[in-house]
Amino acid sequence: MSVENITVVKCGGSTVNKLTAEFFKSIAAMRETGMNPILVHGGGPEINRMLEQMQIECEFVNGLRKTTPEVLEVAEMILSGKVNKALVSFLQTTGTRAFGMSGVDGGLIEAEQVADQDLGLVGEVVNVNTACIKSMIENGFVPVIAPIAADKNGKKLNVNADAAASAVAQAIGAKELLFITDVEGVLIDGSKADYIQVEKLEQLIYDGEIYGGMIPKVQAAAASLTGDLEKVVIAGADGHTDQANGKLKGTAIIREQVQALT
């Protein structure tokens, strides 16, 4: 089986509980039509709820929660356990075989602790074991990856899910990266844009056409467009599709206008 036609699908923590049956059918359709999807997911809201239930006090640094050993333990429990296995289970209800793992398993994602030590046990990805992922795909599975990584000495680190998805996409040579969010795409003049060229993003932000929480989404998409990655699609969690192959509707952030037609 070819592992060249790869699409990485990143599900944000705020959307995990909003994913519909249609979304999972879309992933199954990708697989059935010769595409090779890889899911990378977050789980922030679930982590927050568990920290509250366990009455674990959190420290914040410049608005970001510090990942203490206690916070990391909860994050791993939720991401690698509850959320990861829920996604695997939902996928398998469509008849699609899925294999859940975290970045720790098989040395899948190696990270280094960020320079800002005040953030605690937070990592930046330095290597992705693509052979491990390709092995799963070759054996008929859809990999479902939780963004908990380890450094070269085995110390576990919490990795931003957007960064993990981007690193996986770039390392494995994916042609497309999808960010699944709580909106259907990028709205311009009240209508969803089918595509936006990277060079036009800053002007759209400056003009106020792109605003609020969409700004970091499009900036993260633009930053991901390196190597073989041709486009990043920002799409909704409802699973509505453009085509029978499972490709999700949304807004494509692209390098060149011609790529909008592919």
Residues tagged in the binding site annotation for substrate: 43-44, 65, 158
Positions of E strands within 50-154: 60-61, 64-65, 98-102, 109-113, 123-128, 142-146, 148-150
Quick count: other Cβ atoms within 10 Å of Cβ 2?
Answer: 9
Cα–Cα dist 22/119, whole Å: 37
Please, are residues 8 and 40 in contact by the beta-carbon 8 Å criterion?
yes
Q: Which residues are annotated as a binding site?
A: 43-44, 65, 158
Both tokens of residue 168?
């996986």
Please, are residues 6 and 38 in contact by the beta-carbon 8 Å criterion?
yes
Cα–Cα dist 13/157, whole Å: 18
Look up residue 241 and give its amino acid: T
